[in-house]
Structure 1
Amino acid sequence: MTDLRLTQPPAGTRSLRRGRPRYGELAVKGLLLLAALVSVATTVGIVISLLPPTINFFKRVGFGEFFGGTKWTALFSNPSYGILPLLTATLLITAIALLVAIPVGIGSAIYLSEYARPRVRAVLKPTLEVLAGIPTVVYGFFGLFFLTPLLREHWPLPGEAPEFQNALVAGLVMGVMVIPTIASLAEDAMSAVPHALRDGAYALGSGRRTVALRVVVPAALSGIVAACVLGVSRAIGETMIVAIISGTQSTKVSLNPLEPMQTMTGFIAQAGSGDVATSSFEYKTIFAVGAVLFVLTFVMNMISMRLVRKYREVYE
C-alpha cells in the first residue's frame, strides 16, 4: 500500500500542478489574437475592396494596353491607360529618395551604435526620430517653397512659375522623410548584436571602423535589409510630398528628374479628390492603379522576408 505522505507536497511549498484558471492571461491572449485577426481582416478587406472595380476596369482595358502603354491620360477627353508613366515616375522618385536615405540612414545608425557616447546617443536618436513625426504635408511645402527656389537659383530649370514642380526635389525631400525609419530600425538591429563579437574583434587588434563595418554590419544585415525595404515601401506609398512637389500630370514616360511627374499615389489623390464621378469608368482607374501599388509593395515585402531569413544570424 502506497504511503500517502510520499505523494503529497511538503507543507508550505507550492504545487507544480495547474491551479485555478488565470482569467487575466486568457483575456490578454484573446486580445492579442483579436489584434492579429484585425490585421489579417484588414488586408483581406483591402483585397476585396480592390478586386471588383479592378476586374471591371480590365474588362474594358486590356493588360497589354495597361502595362505596355506609354501614355497616361485617363482623365482626358481622349483617354489612354498606359500605366508606364506613373510607374516610371514612382520608381524614379523612390530611387532618388533611397540614394539619400540609405547612406545617411545607415551611416547614422553606425554612428549611434558604435561611435556615439551614451549621452550623445540619448539626445541624437530621439531628435532624429522627431523627423518621423513631422506631417508629410509639411515636408511637401518645405520642398516646394525652400528647396525648389534654391535649386532654381543654382541650377536653371525650365518653367517660369516660382512653384516649379519636379521629381528631383520630391525625391530629395522624400529621402529626408525616410531617414528616421531606416536609421532607427538599423540602429536597433546593430545594438542587438552581442558585445562578445565586438570584444573578440577588439582582442584581435581590430579598430573601431573595422569592427563596425566587418563585424557589426554583417551580423545585423538582416535587420538592415528589413529597415531599407520598409523605407522603400514607405517611399513608394507616400502621397502628399509627390502631390505637392512632383506635379499632377505625367502623360508620357520620362527619366528626366527635372521635369514634373505624377506618381501612382499622386494620381490616386488627384482622381479621388471629388472631381470624378464615383459611378464613372474614370473612377475605376483609381482601383486599378491601387491594385498595382498593392501588388508592388506586397512583392517587395515578400522579397524582404526572404532576404531576412537568408541573412539572419542566430545567437545564443
Structure 2
Amino acid sequence: MGKVGSALKMMMMLQSRGKMKIKEIASELEISERQVQEYRNELEQAGVFINSQSGKYGGYSLGGNYRLSLPITSMDMSILDNVSEYLELSNNMYSKEYKSILDKIASKCNVKHTDDMGVDYFHIQSRGSISPEEERKRCFKISDAYITKRKLVIKYRSVNSDMTERTVHPYGLYTYNGDTYMVAFCEYRNEMRDFKICRIIDMDVTDEKYERDKKFDFSTYTKNSIGNYKGDEYDVHIIVKEPFATIVRERIITENQIITELENGSIDFRARIKGYPQIKSWILGMGSCVKVIEPEILKKEIIEEIDTLKNEYSK
C-alpha cells in the first residue's frame, strides 16, 4: 500500500472505530509506530485533525469537524466525472458507488462539477446482460470466499452452453471488454482458469478451506496473452496489408512483438502469443489483408475455415 493510501486508511479506521492506540494502527497497516506519527502529521496538514490522548486508555481519534484540503482542481473533477460516465455507460457494477464517492470528494474539497473544462468525451461501450446488482452480489460472495480462504462450488455455463459443477479456489477478479471475470484454481481442470461472472449460474461458499499458491502472479499469468485467453504459446508470423497494417501498428498485442515495415506499406508482424482461439479470430477478422507464415497449424485451419465459409455461402 502506498504512503497516501496508508494515511487515508488510517483516517477511515479512526472514523469507524473512534479511538485506537498507535500500536494497533501500526499492526493493522503493517508499518512502524514512527510512520503512524508521520501519517498523523500529513493528515493534519491536509486539514484532518487527529486527537491524541496519553495514558492507559489513550490513543488517536479523529477530530470532530474536518475538511480535506487536497489539491483537487475543477479539471481533476472533470476527469473524474468522465470516468463516472464511462462506468455508468458500461453498466459497471460499482458505477453508483463511484458516483457517490465522487460527490463526497467534491463536497469535502469544495470543488464544483463543471461542464466547461475541456472537450467532451463520448463513450461507445456494449453492456453485459447481467444486472449490476446481480453481478455485485456474486462478486461479494467471491470476495467473502477469498478473504476466508474457503472453496466455492459453482454451476458454470461454458461458451458451448455445457453446464458443469466445479469446485474452485478464488484468486481474484478482473474486467476485460466490460465483463468481469474470476481467476480461480479449478479442481475439475486441475489448473488456473478464468470464469466469466455472468456465466456463473449458481455458487455456494463451502466450509472447506484452501491454501493459495503464494507464487501466483497475475502479470505472469497473463503475460503474452492476446485478450484474456491463455493456453499454449505460439510463434506467430504474419504479413499484414493496409488498412489493417495501420490498425496493427497502433496496438501493442504483446510486449514481445516485433513489427518490421515493408516497402509496399505492409508490415511484417512477429510475436510469441498465448490464446490460440483468439489468435485465430484476430487473423480471420483481417480477411484477405493478412497472410499467415507461421505457425503451420494456424495457416491450415484458416484455409479450412475459408473453405467452410465458401461451402456455406454456395448452398
- Which structure exhibits the higher relative contact order, with contacts defined as CA atoms closer than 8 Å and separated by 6 or more residues? 1
Q: Judging by fraction of residues, say which structure has more helix.
A: 1
The answer, yes or no, to whether TM exceeds 0.5 is: no
TM range (shorter): under 0.3
Q: Judging by fraction of residues, say which structure has more strand.
A: 2
After TM superposition, the score normalised by the length of structure 2 is 0.19
After TM superposition, the score normalised by the length of structure 1 is 0.19
